[in-house]
Amino acid sequence: MSGSSSVASSASPIASQIPLAFDHVSHWYGDVVAVNDVTCSIEAGITGLLGPNGAGKSTMLQMAAGLLAPSSGTVRVYGESPLERPSIFRHVALVPEREALPAMLSARAFVEARAVLLGLRDPKLAALRALTTVEMDTVADRKVGGFSKGMRQRTKLAAALVHEPTLLLLDEPFNGLDPRQRMHMMRLLEDRAREGTAVLLSSHILEEIEGVASRILVMLSGRLAASGDHRTLRRMMTDRPHTVRIRSTNDRTLASVLLSSPTVMGVDIEAGALMVRTVDYTGFAHHIGAVAQGASITLLEVQPTDESLEHVFAYLVAR
């Protein structure tokens, strides 16, 4: 492997190949079907792999990284089976969700160790370049044990980038990051994507990935439930019946006013709250304030009851 393997150029034999393709892929652990007959492909740019815990995201990423064999179907990385052609790993890196970083090592030592393992010609230079990319070069000699979650994530990312992979797989990379660290990570991934890297990142939170991923694959119970850009997925979620719980200073009057609103399908009065069913959540959310104000009612609480991911996914799957 070269010391500065670079992003696939047009002359590279891999440039004409799809970075990652799953064809009717399943994986089961004993009796547990973790991934069930998934067919999809990942192009250059950023793709989000969205799904609740246990949906099969990590299993997908591990198969893409060649760490797990599919139980059936085929996984192709640049047209090759990662299990049959390990040399393809010069182009691939996985940033796992859970990976204990050795607390006593400096970030530089950790990243250099990976560069040595990968057989890079100049491990020190490769490590410095990767640490600079993730803006960890100034703290590179500090011990990992004292790092914040964000710094540890960036150190893992530097280790993954040390050989300049063209297919970058990240398992829940935003987990535990504060908003500033999250923005920084997004910017980094966008930079990689702009330079031609295919990035596949998993998350269980749509808001986390919709701003950064141009395409989102939704997984549920091992199956590919939906795919599209974030607008398509958002539309699937908002153009469906919602139930909103409302508490106000005058629930009964508010109920009768709301019933004449075209966005409201029905209102149930429960102990201390109204349960309002609407088909147009966006329109409803937009107008509820003015409707209450017009009736001299103060809203104490407006809370969608079915915004949980499970409902969203259940809805997507039922379509």
Ligand X SMILES: Nc1ncnc2c1ncn2[C@@H]1O[C@H](COP(=O)(O)OP(=O)(O)OP(=O)(O)O)[C@@H](O)[C@H]1O
Question: Where does this chain bind ligand X (CB under 6 A)?
Answer: 29, 32, 34, 51, 53-59, 204
CB within 8 Å of 262: residues ≥ 6 apart? none
CA separation, residue 78 to residues 2, 44, 48, 63 (Å): 19, 12, 19, 14
Nearer to ligand X, 53 or 260 (CB): 53
Identity of the residue, 57 or 114, whose beta carbon is nearer to ligand X in the bound complex:
57
* Cα of 290 vs its chain's centroid, Å: 36
Quote the least distance from Cβ 203 to ligand X, whole Å. 9
Query: Which residue, 110 or 313, has its beta carbon nearer to ligand X?
Result: 313
- Minimum CB–partner distance for residue 97 and ligand X (Å): 6
Please report how close the Cβ of residue 125 comes to ligand X at its closest, in angstroms. 35
Nearest approach in angstroms of CB 214 to ligand X is 21
What's the CA gap between 171 and 206, in Å, rounded?
A: 14
Q: For 91, which DSSP code?
A: G
Looking at beta carbons only, is 218 or 258 nearer to ligand X? 218
Residue 252: closest CA among 282, 295, 283, 281 = 295
Helix (H), strand (E) counts: the chain: 10, 13
User: Of the two residues 79 and 96, which places its CB atom closer to ligand X in the complex?
Assistant: 96
In the complex, minimum distance from the CB of residue 58 to ligand X, in angstroms, rounded to a whole number: 3
Instruction: Report the interhelical angle of 251-259 vs 281-294 (nearest 10°).
Output: 130
